[in-house]
Homo-oligomer: A and B are copies of this chain.
Amino acid sequence: MSTTTAPVSRNGVDTATLFATRDAVKGQPELAGFQFRARNRWISGTHSRSRIGGFYGAGAEQQHVRGEMVLDADHPLVLVGADEAPTPVEYLLHALAACLTAGLVNVAAARGITLHEVESSVEGDIDVLGLLGLDPSVRNGFQQVRVAFRIKGDAPEEELRALLDRSRSRSAVYDVLTNGVPVTITAEVG
């Protein structure tokens, strides 16, 4: 699926497998259906813990290589939490930076561009008058999110900028955060 003259790995991306995977899914689109999952349990106050293990994809149930991974979340002291872990909204910022970066690196590998450094800073502004129920005209979530990248690689400036543009245009997290997604919530109580 790749020529033998192509490098096996660039930027830590196995480009031959990347192209092969894309070709495999193209020929068998049912492999493209994925389902990701998290199971969360309340600990105390605003502190809870999620466990992330299995997911469905590539036509089968999958397990993460590292087994079940644990993520905690809490509110900070100034919002009456115990600050045991990052806040839920900080996890959104991390997810956005990580998704854009992974995509950028994949695109660079596919285009034969070697990267030296990719860093990003993400900021999200939130006015807690909304979530505290003090002003119904203020939204609960972020009002604005800003991502500032610093990218170093062996390509002209415009080619490096194009990597980021392509990554944004294919990013799952950017899509969800900017366009929203239908969320249904059910409960078994008692």
A39 to B, closest residue via Cβ:
B121
A42 touches B134 (CB 8 A): no
- CA of A135 to CA of B146, assembled, Å: 28
Q: Which of B12, B73, B161 contacts A94 (CB 8 A)?
A: B73
B95 touches A89 (CB 8 A): yes
Chain B residue contacts of A143, Cβ below 8 A: 181-182
CB distance from A19 to the nearest CB of B (A): 9
A98 touches B48 (CB 8 A): yes
Chain B residue contacts of A86, Cβ below 8 A: 52, 64, 69, 71
* Total interface residues in chain A, CB < 8 Å: 134
Q: Which of B37, B124, B140 contacts A174 (CB 8 A)?
A: B140
B95 touches A76 (CB 8 A): no
Chain B residue contacts of A173, Cβ below 8 A: 88-89, 92, 141
- CA of A126 to CA of B41, assembled, Å: 24
Once A42-B105, A145-B184 are accepted as A-B contacts, the answer to whether A171 and B140 lie under 8 Å apart by CB is yes
The interface of chain A, by Cβ under 8 A from chain B, is: 11-14, 17-18, 21-22, 25-26, 29, 32-48, 50, 52, 55, 57-58, 62, 64-66, 69, 71, 73-103, 105-106, 115, 117-135, 138-153, 157, 160-161, 164, 168, 170-190
Some 20 contacts from A to B, beta carbons below 8 A apart, are: A21-B78, A25-B128, A26-B134, A34-B127, A36-B87, A38-B97, A42-B105, A42-B118, A50-B98, A52-B86, A57-B79, A73-B98, A75-B102, A81-B102, A89-B99, A89-B176, A92-B92, A141-B176, A151-B189, A174-B183
